[in-house]
A and B are shown apart, each in its own frame.
Chain A
Amino acid sequence: MTDTHPTGWFGDFGGRFVPETLIAALDELADAWISAMADAAFRDELDHMLRHWVGRPVPITHCPRLTAHCGGADIWLKREDLAHTGAHKINNTLGQVLLARRMGKTRIIAETGAGQHGVATATACARYGMTCEVYMGAEDARRQALNVFRMRLLGATVHEVHDGSCTLKDATNAALRDWMGSVGKTHYVLGSVVGPHPFPDMVRDLQSIIGHEARGQCLDRIGSLPHTVVACVGGGSNAAGIFAGFVGDADVRLIGVEAGGRSDDTGEHAASIGLGAPGVLHGSRSLVLQNDDGQTATVHSCSAGLDYPGVGPQHAHWHASGRANYIRVDDTSALDAFQLLARLEGIIPALESSHAVAAACTIAADMSSDQVLLVNCSGRGDKDVEEARRLLD
């Protein structure tokens, strides 16, 4: 490999497929990240804030009634829904905002789909008095008006994007364009383990607290590692975070769950690994949903957080190497699991996490009762209650 940055590849996936203007900014960011991680003061501040502001560690919770209902493996949840703002997204945004501050950046930009990453970014920016501007597809802003209000309440400016399909991919394009003209004072807080190097590494590292906590908690409370870990995958940040704690344990089975949507037809799902092919989108080579000309396909999921036509390059690599398996769960099964967990365990999961819960029920049934299945409950479902009511009525 003759590239000046041989890091940033996961096998055949990853890299930096971006306009030249961003290369220097990505170099600066990669260096800053390495230096921050080696700085005890930075790590102490991040740890302090994760503990006392985000509310970590979040517990693992045994699900006796769900276990009895599914039959088979003992089901436990990692409770990212209990983190501040109600999802794992805050682990990443807090870390990146702290890093941006350390780099002397004064302005933060972000893309958002349903608004969860935008809210988590606005939240961290509010805490540190940073200017925050969030790009959101006009169609998404219409569907998620409450999150638009939430971001504004937190002091952020929301820019509605009217290009292309007016959804997450277009918001991401708009954020990248902004960054190209503003790299000097602006940091782009990318919301998942996607994009050009170093974002997939950095976001995974910031989310790896999920897996590292969960591993210790399993050993403490259960006395063993889980047999299987299940997480939903859109871009793949919560899955990369929990997998990171177990990927070195060869005996722990890792399963990612993609959005199967309404069917396997193009435009009806968001299963980039299961139904996509190698391609380049938003700065990295990964598995993507494109037509034969390389034009990005439309995608669908009942869950806005999984509604993305690509996936993090490390997931593509884990899939290619066989270290993790990826399956898909359709809208109907996810909605069933959404209700099931609410009724049996008193926990309303996000529609994204409901995909993992649905898969877990099926997988657990094929396992024995002395085996443990750990599911990442990546977010709470309060944000989805209205949409679920609409879909279920």
Chain B
Amino acid sequence: MGRIDTIFTALRAEGGRALMPFITGGHPTTAATTAMLEGFADAGAAIAEVGLPFSDPIADGPVIAGAMHDVLHAGTTIDDVLRAVRTAKAHTDMGLVAMVSHSIVHRRGDGDFIKQLADAGFDGIIVPDADLVAIDALLPTIDALQMSCSLLIAPTTTPARIEALVQRCRGFVYLLARAGITGQRSSMDGLDQRVNTIRQYTDLPIAVGFGIDSSAAVAQAVEACDAAIVGSALVKAIDTAQDPVKTALDTVTALATGLPTLA
């Protein structure tokens, strides 16, 4: 059983839910990335997502895209981010997943890159933009390393496509609360129905993201799902902070109050 499976199995056993903060790797510095990842577990996160900076992040709104451009402009490379993660991994048992465009995965060697992610301490990968043909080519390596593999399900995704997607998911499924790009507020309207549709095809944990920016939104998201992902709201707070690490940890601490309290 992979690390992500272990985390969700333990949470489910006690009726808990996961908070999954997203940060852009290297934003604003690789040292800050390390410090945030080392502190997130105590702040209440079960799993953290690290977005690898990409020059053309189509799915991301201005906040995350801007952070990625800043990181690349500063000369930070993918290897720099992997080093920052490896350093943090020595000091935390929190789950770590990489959110990475297939443009990077492919150019860095597909399966070889999955191994590099695992070596850096990642327990899983989220590929938001890969053709399923490409996912199928990665799965043998992902499975051999017992990593999670999360594909996105959108409000526009048809049931037939949901079935095809969840067959390729390992660890957890990533559900988009709404169409569009990251960083826009969303209502959770219709979330229950979409969760029910997904449940017809898989028992994997479901993490919901896009537009969650408060502890109340976290609470609402985890009523129907196993995990709440907080991305743009956190990246925005980090972007404007005097002390980015403290701000990141304080923000996650505040968001975690939306999680159910365990008996």
- Bind each other: yes
State the A residues within 8 Å of B (CB).
1-4, 9, 15-21, 23-25, 27, 163-164, 169-170, 173, 176-177, 180-181, 183, 277-282, 285, 290, 292-296
CB of A180 within 8 A of CB of B153, answer no
Nearest opposing residue in chain A for B107, CB measure:
A294
CB of A20 within 8 A of CB of B128, answer yes
Contacts of B155 in A (CB 8 A): 21
With the chains together, A280 CA to B129 CA distance in Å?
Answer: 10
Contacts of A2 in B (CB 8 A): 132-133, 136
CB of A19 within 8 A of CB of B107, answer no
- The reply to whether the CB of B188 lies closer than 8 angstroms to some CB of chain A is no
- Contact partner of B156 (CB less than 8 A), chosen from A23, A281, A296, is A23
With the chains together, A17 CA to B59 CA distance in Å?
Answer: 11
Contacts of B184 in A (CB 8 A): 181
Q: Per-residue 0/1 for B25-50: is the Cβ within 8 Å of any A Cβ (1 yes, 0 no)?
A: 00000000000000000000000000
- Contact partner of B107 (CB less than 8 A), chosen from A17, A27, A292, is A292
With the chains together, A173 CA to B55 CA distance in Å?
Answer: 10
Which residues, 43 to 77 on B, are CB-close (under 8 Å) to A? 54-59, 61-62, 65-66, 69, 72, 77
Tally inter-chain residue pairs, CB-CB below 8 A: 131
Assuming A176-B58, A293-B78, is B65 touching A163 (CB within 8 A)?
yes
- The reply to whether the CB of B180 lies closer than 8 angstroms to some CB of chain A is yes
CB of A183 within 8 A of CB of B156, answer yes
Which residues, 171 to 191 on B, are CB-close (under 8 Å) to A? 176, 179-181, 184
Of the candidates B78, B101, B132, B179, the one having the most CB atoms from chain A within 10 angstroms of its own CB is: B179
Nearest opposing residue in chain A for B62, CB measure:
A163
**Known A20-B154, A290-B107; further 4 A-B contacts with Cβ < 8 A:** A4-B160, A183-B156, A293-B104, A296-B56
CB distance from B63 to the nearest CB of A (A): 12
CB of B181 within 8 A of CB of A181, answer yes
With the chains together, A376 CA to B184 CA distance in Å?
Answer: 45
- The reply to whether the CB of B91 lies closer than 8 angstroms to some CB of chain A is no
CB distance from A158 to the nearest CB of B (A): 19
- Contact partner of B134 (CB less than 8 A), chosen from A15, A169, A170, A183, is A15
CB distance from A166 to the nearest CB of B (A): 11
Assuming A4-B132, A280-B103, is B181 touching A23 (CB within 8 A)?
no
CB distance from A135 to the nearest CB of B (A): 13
Q: Is the interface of A mostly helix, strand, loop or mixed?
A: mixed
CB of A23 within 8 A of CB of B161, answer yes
CB of B156 within 8 A of CB of A295, answer no
Interface size class of B (residues with CB under 8 A): 35 or more
- Contact partner of B106 (CB less than 8 A), chosen from A18, A170, A279, is A279
22 contacts between A and B (CB under 8 A): A2-B136, A3-B131, A3-B164, A16-B131, A18-B129, A19-B59, A20-B165, A20-B176, A21-B176, A23-B154, A23-B161, A25-B156, A169-B56, A173-B58, A177-B58, A181-B184, A183-B156, A279-B107, A280-B103, A280-B129, A293-B107, A295-B72
CB of B132 within 8 A of CB of A294, answer no
Nearest opposing residue in chain A for B53, CB measure:
A295
- The reply to whether the CB of B23 lies closer than 8 angstroms to some CB of chain A is no
Contacts of B61 in A (CB 8 A): 177
- The reply to whether the CB of B130 lies closer than 8 angstroms to some CB of chain A is yes
Assuming A2-B133, A3-B131, is B157 touching A20 (CB within 8 A)?
yes
CB distance from B77 to the nearest CB of A (A): 6
With the chains together, A285 CA to B54 CA distance in Å?
Answer: 16
CB of B107 within 8 A of CB of A173, answer no
CB distance from B161 to the nearest CB of A (A): 6
Assuming A19-B128, A25-B156, A292-B107, is B181 touching A280 (CB within 8 A)?
no
Contacts of A15 in B (CB 8 A): 131, 133-134
Assuming A181-B179, A181-B180, A294-B103, is B151 touching A20 (CB within 8 A)?
yes
CB of A17 within 8 A of CB of B130, answer yes
- The reply to whether the CB of B158 lies closer than 8 angstroms to some CB of chain A is yes
CB distance from A313 to the nearest CB of B (A): 11
Contacts of A296 in B (CB 8 A): 55-56, 103
Contacts of B107 in A (CB 8 A): 277, 279-280, 290, 292-294
With the chains together, A296 CA to B56 CA distance in Å?
Answer: 7
Contacts of B246 in A (CB 8 A): none
With the chains together, A149 CA to B122 CA distance in Å?
Answer: 50
Nearest opposing residue in chain B for A18, CB measure:
B129
- Contact partner of A21 (CB less than 8 A), chosen from B57, B62, B180, is B180
Contacts of B180 in A (CB 8 A): 21, 180-181
- Contact partner of A17 (CB less than 8 A), chosen from B62, B129, B181, is B129
CB of A295 within 8 A of CB of B131, answer no
